[in-house]
Amino acid sequence: MTLNAKITEIREKFLQELKLAKTSRQIEILKISFLGKKGSVQSLMQNLKDATQEQRPLFGKQINDLKLEITSHLENSLKRLLLEEETKKLENEYIDVTLPGRKHFWGRYHPITLTMNKMIDVFVSMGFAVEIGPDVDSDFYNFEGLNFAKDHPSRDMQDTFFITDDLLLRTHTSNVQVRVMERFKPPIRCIAPGKCFRNETISSRSHVFFHQVEMFYIDENVSFADLFATLNEFLSKLFKKQIETRFRPSYFPFVEPGMECDIKCIICSGQGCRLCKGTGWLEVFGAGMIHPNVLKAGGIDPEKYSGYAAGLGVERLAMLIHQINDIRMFTENDMRFLQQFSL
Q: Which residues bind Zn ion (CB under 5 A)?
A: 265, 267-268, 273, 276
Q: CB of 326: closest distance to Zn ion in angstroms?
A: 14
Q: CB of 272: closest distance to Zn ion in angstroms?
A: 6
Return the number of other C-beta atoms located less than 10 Å from residue 183's C-beta.
11
Q: CB of 327: closest distance to Zn ion in angstroms?
A: 15
- Please give the C-alpha separations between residue 94 and each of 97, 99, 102, 306, in angstroms, as whole numbers: 9, 12, 17, 74
Query: How much of the chain is helix, strand and coil, in % rounded to 5?
Result: 45, 20, 35
- Residue closer to Zn ion by CB (options 231, 282) is 282
- Residue closer to Zn ion by CB (options 152, 264) is 264
Tell me the CB-side half-sphere exposure of residue 3, using CA atoms within 13 A: 23
What is the DSSP code string of 162-173?
BSSSSEEE-SST
Q: CB of 267: closest distance to Zn ion in angstroms?
A: 5
Beta bridge partners of 179: none
- Residue closer to Zn ion by CB (options 39, 280) is 280
- Residue closer to Zn ion by CB (options 192, 282) is 282
**Torsion over CA of 158, 164, 167 and 170, rounded to 10 degrees?**
-30
Q: CB of 269: closest distance to Zn ion in angstroms?
A: 8
**Torsion over CA of 116, 122, 127 and 132, rounded to 10 degrees?**
0
Q: CB of 274: closest distance to Zn ion in angstroms?
A: 7
Amino acid at 26: Q
- Residue closer to Zn ion by CB (options 143, 285) is 285
Is residue 232 left, alpha or beta, with left meaning phi > 0 and alpha meaning psi from -120 to 50?
alpha
Q: CB of 262: closest distance to Zn ion in angstroms?
A: 11
Cα separation of 277 and 86, whole Å?
74
- Residue closer to Zn ion by CB (options 78, 268) is 268
276 neighbors 268 (Cβ within 8 angstroms): yes
Q: CB of 320: closest distance to Zn ion in angstroms?
A: 10
- Residue closer to Zn ion by CB (options 51, 268) is 268
- Residue closer to Zn ion by CB (options 39, 272) is 272
Cα separation of 139 and 164, whole Å?
10
311 neighbors 79 (Cβ within 8 angstroms): no
* 3-state class (DSSP) for residue 301: coil
